[in-house]
Structure 1
């Protein structure tokens, strides 16, 4: 597989996998998001393995746990709304997509899953992707 990351002069970042854009976001917007979360960030310092991942809308955001390999959706009061374990391996990489999905990739076995970012329901698994490729061929 060929992974390409591009950054243009307006700080737009695009992540491509085999010629298809998996992710497109703006670095400045991410910094603004992090600035918005400064007050809440202090509570996350107690759990340094958790990192802020994506703001879903004005009242919810998502984090991933580096040590547990899980995704969590939080409300503004830092109550966990949804919790999902993505892969059997804790070592994962996550990519948010413009269409409201998250792509998770296990760095141990390369397994890929596509999740709905609003409720963390599984949209596609590696097996679904393989079946889809077979139908196209």
Structure 2
């Protein structure tokens, strides 16, 4: 981990790197246009990046939306494949959840493949108080495996 730095400075986020990964490799992100993605970044409540210390290159990313008071949604979490296995995903999400203004919030997320990681961080299936209205098909195609 000492070869990496995790930072929540939104000015440091490499938008091009995040867009490249999410638009080409993330099953959940490929429906968006670059314009939509840029608006999501502009309106995000919090952004966190993982950077190689030596080069400064961003190799991981997470975005959150929130009401800023009690509720937050975690999205667009990734670590580039060649940097996985060193605990960066867990450290990235921990920085977002526990080391910032939303530490006491109710957090939500959608994932189809990382349940074990998120379970270690306190996520579980929703209880009887949670309902969800799925997105309209007009929003764009969902590329879920």
TM-score by length of 1: 0.29
* Structure ranking higher in helix proportion: 2
Find the structure with the greater CA-based Rg. 1
* Structure ranking higher in strand proportion: 1
TM-score by length of 2: 0.28
